[in-house]
Amino acid sequence: MSGPAVNGLSEHEVAARVESGLDNRVPDKTSRSLWQIFRANVLTLFIAIVGTSFLVLLLLGRWQDALFGLAAAGNAVIGAVQEFRAKRSLDRLAVLDAPRARVLRDGKILEIATADVVRDDVLVLRAGDQVTADAAVLEAAGLEADESLLTGESDPVDKDPGTDVLSGSIIVAGHGKARVVRVGAESFASRLTADARRFSLVNSEIRNSLNRVLRWIAWGVLPVGLVVINGELQARGGWQDAIATGAWTAAMVGVIASVIAMVPLGLVLLTSVAFAVGGLRLAGHKVLIQELAAVEGLARVDILCMDKTGTLTEGGLRFEAVHPLTTAPDHGWQQALGWFATEPEANATARSLAAAFEDDGGFQSVSYVPFSSSRKWSGVTFGGSNGTTPTWILGAPEMVLAPAGHAEVLEQAGELARAGLRTLLLAGADGLPGAGKSATLPDGLRPVALLTFREQPRSDARETLDFFRAEGVELKIISGDDPRTVAAIARRVGLEVAQGFDARELPEDPLLLEEVMASNIVFGRVSPDQKKAMVAALQRRGHTVAMTGDGVNDALALKTADLGIAMDSAAPATKAVARLVLLDGRFDRLPEVLAEGRRVIANIERVSSLFLSKTAYSIAIAVTFGLLQWPFPFLPRQLSFTDGLTIGIPAFFLALMPNARRYKPGFLRRSLWFSLPAGLIVASALLALNAIAPSAGRTTPETMGSAAVLTLSVVGLWILAVVSRPLNAGRVGVLAAMCAALVIMLNLPLAQEFFILSWPPDVLLMTALAAGIGGGLAIELLAFLHRRKFPR
């Protein structure tokens, strides 16, 4: 393709480029389709097991025993909706906010949609514009671009003819024209966010642990099911008799009851509900949860990485003070500063002077040299009423003054810079500065004053960082700015930092990078790829890493981190990949997130002991009763009854109660250490009941089932009491309500009819209670040993 003429592309040239696919459209897809989301949440092994069992019971006319299907359906719906929301957020991912682009075509300036820009278009750039595609500058008049969203460096970059201006950057000063060289997926912004568009779930220990348990159970379902079905049929006279008499239907119900009891469906559902409620609570504190499991994240984090601009600081510069260099400064220096602040092509630093210095309109410029980041100064000459032409120069001290002549001024400027202040020098002169691209300073410069500017730390930064340090969370500041400036900001928010590490000296060797990350706190001049590598290095050392940021340059690091946190001022791409977004930009929201994460993970660990105990005793009962060729002691509906009273209903309340206990790794190990022995204790109590019951008098399947339900309920409530400790008014209330509900349901005719329950004969009743109390005392001993092994 040939380049554009001076007056831009013609209509025919634009059409040819669109036909060749050289427009600015970006494919709007993530790696996760709706079918993939549906398949991941619905077409799973456990949904197949539960769904098949559900259909079999319906075909057998036993809909009362199919209540477990509701929990499975609820969990599938919550999971699918959660992932669909994440997909929709990623599909909206965009670096470019600009809805329109200004281009030159056929000699006319047109405003067109960003997607309609084509390669070789001439962009007409003005202050405030966001660049819509990578382009090479053709003409420039004081043109400067803010590339902080892309590179993390807050200093505006001078854009002279021949230099590139990147898509996603913002024009902050001057004006110019640029020819588009890369569009669509080839542009810098698109390539930077390509990795961010890939779908990934947050790293959740709770979810990972539950998935591991479910995989273990998956391997055990088939062999356990075979043992149970053989035992059920043998208990009913053998395979031939059971099939001939139709007793196989009752045997099938027993098999389904044993298999469904093994699957902790309620725990998976309750975990999703607890995460969702945590998300709603945080929404009330102006914290958006992009993915429910992210609520857990901050409870596990032991390193918090922060970008400086927009996270520790408010963004932008504030004029701080004037440091006079002479007792008799040239007349009009304050008005000159006011003119520099209000000049249309002023950069952000100069504009910050407007609050302190006012341009009274008394000066008329006769010559002006705009600021350039390469020469780092700007100059103006005013026409005086007495025929004089006073000249003022504003710029970096080391660029304006020759070291030999003004060593003291440069030393003073250096001291201010080491204190974390950006420093400019105002100097007066009588001669005219040279014009054009190779502008030169006039002779006889007289230093008048040093001007200092400061990035304003967030008012909540120090207190929040103190909180994290007190909680044992290590802090790292990772920025694209000068490491000396970043270190100075770190000291202002309470961190003890001698100096920052220049990321341009980071080693490429992964092991050496890990050592550098471990031994330093502040890092400057960090590129987007380096941020991602630095987070990964910390993770390789076993850390759980949270990362905050607001620029597109932070997007890849936020996605790599275990928990990405975006500020309200963040670029759309950064918000889309973050797990949490602080909607009001208040850094002090993070302690609230930490508290909510601790509540969720501590409470889910508490209730997981209930659900996993049920899985353990279900497997133990199924195997032992099957091997002994005894009928499975419960109907599915009776297990739904005991599950609701001893696990499901109380677990829901326990999962939502306050809990400020600090998180410790090893959630699954602690839960299983209690749950497995507890399950064996429950199974032993039921085995004892079934072994002793025949000698306790005449029994029927209905009375034996009722006795088994009573024994299981007593031991289950005892487990609930142990898991609820330390007890408070709320937990005691839940426990008392469940005990009362058990007594009521056992005496309610409608419940007795539906669940096929009745009060056992006196001797069998006493046997059931004795087995339950014996199991409860064994649970107390287990709880004592568990506290000794895992002290809180």
Please identify which residue in the block is written with the tokens 């001290």. 397
Positive or negative, the CA dihedral 539, 541, 544, 549 is negative
Kindly report the three-state secondary structure assignment for every residue of 31-58: CCCHHHHHHHHCCCHHHHHHHHHHHHHH
Picking from 646, 658, 776, 763, the residue whose alpha carbon sits closest to that of residue 703 is: 763
The DSSP bridge partners found for residue 482 are none
CA distance linking residue 602 with residue 205, whole number of Å: 12
Q: Across 532-621, where does the E strand assignment appear? A: 545-549, 563-567, 580-582
Q: How far is CA 297 from CA 275, 283, 590, 713, in A?
A: 11, 16, 11, 35
- Given a contact cutoff of 8 angstroms between Cβ atoms, the answer to whether 399 and 373 are in contact is no
For the residues of 94-138, what is the DSSP string, one character each?
-S---SEEEEEETTEEEEEEGGG-BTT-EEEEETTPBP-SEEEEE
Pairing of strands 287-289, 391-395: unpaired
**Which residues are known to be catalytic?**
307
Half-sphere exposure of 790 (CA within 13 A, CB side): 15
Neighbours of 58 (CB within 10 A): 13
β-pair partners for 566: 549, 581
CA 684 – CA 600 distance, rounded (Å) = 33
The DSSP bridge partners found for residue 522 are: 477
Q: Which residue in 110, 185, 180, 176 sits closest to 144, CA to CA? A: 176
* Spatial separation of the C-alpha atoms in residues 20 and 5, rounded to whole Å: 19
Q: Are 303 and 476 in contact (CB under 8 A)?
A: yes
From residue 358, alpha-carbon distances to 238, 273, 342, 353, 673 in Å are 101, 58, 9, 9, 73
Residue by residue, DSSP assigns 205-240 as: HHHHHHHHHHHHHHHHHHHHHHHHHHHHHHHTT-HH
CA–CA gap between residue 729 and residue 631 (Å, rounded): 41
CA dist 366 and 378 (Å) reads 14
Q: Which residues pair with 563 in a beta bridge?
A: 546
**Secondary structure of 297-361 in the HEC alphabet?**
HHHHCCEEEECHHHHHECCCCEEEEEEECCCCCCCCHHHHHHHHHHCCCCCHHHHCCCCCCCCCC
Which helix (DSSP H) or strand (DSSP E) does residue 140 occupy? strand 134-146
Type of residue at 565: I
Give the single-character DSSP code of 472: T
